[in-house]
């Protein structure tokens, strides 16, 4: 039973380019969460999605960042016109139902380390 998959594991972009980060949840999981870990900091919640719906994007920057979780395929975190401050590790987690509210655990992927030159 494969865990949460994220790709690429490492991504290098120049300022102004677009970054696309993919997350495939565990089999049977329909809830996806994205977190960002800046250097020397803990993880910060960005967005919570269910299939085809954004439930909570209160942690997403207002501009340049977007996320989707289509009916088919992985969840995508998209960062347009990247800047150096976007350099971080981006983690995806998935859970089978309503996650921590009912005691389910969020299972984390290995992360994508984005470096903006």
Residues contributing to the site for another protein (CB under 8 A):
4, 6, 31, 33, 35, 41-45, 48, 55-56, 58-59, 91, 93, 95, 98-101, 103-111
Question: Which residue lies nearer to another protein by CB, 50 or 80?
Answer: 50
What is the C-alpha separation between 46 and 36, in angstroms, rounded?
Answer: 7
Question: Which residue lies nearer to another protein by CB, 27 or 44?
Answer: 44
What is the smallest separation between the CB atom of 114 and another protein, expressed in angstroms?
Answer: 14
Question: Which residue lies nearer to another protein by CB, 81 or 97?
Answer: 97
Question: In this structure, what is the dihedral angle of CA atoms 92, 95, 96, 102, given to the nearest 10 degrees?
Answer: -160
Is the bond leading into 76 cis (omega within 30 degrees of zero)? Answer: no
Backbone angles phi, psi at 56, to 5 degrees: -150, 115
What is the smallest separation between the CB atom of 69 and another protein, expressed in angstroms?
Answer: 14
The answer to whether residues 100 and 106 touch, using CB atoms and an 8 Å cutoff, is: yes
């Amino acid at each position: 039973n494969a865990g949460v998959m994220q790709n690429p594991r490492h991504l290098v972009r120049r300022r102004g380019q677009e970054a696309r980060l993919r997350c495939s949840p565990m089999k049977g999981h329909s809830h996806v969460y994205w977190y960002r870990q800046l250097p020397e900091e803990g993880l910060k919640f960005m967005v919570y999605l269910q299939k085809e719906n954004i439930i909570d994007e209160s942690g997403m920057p207002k501009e340049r960042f977007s996320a989707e979780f289509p009916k088919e395929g992985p969840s995508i975190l998209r960062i347009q016109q990247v800047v150096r401050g976007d350099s971080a590790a981006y983690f995806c987690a998935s859970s089978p139902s309503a996650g921590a509210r009912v005691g389910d655990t969020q299972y984390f992927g290995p992360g994508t380390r984005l470096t903006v030159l």
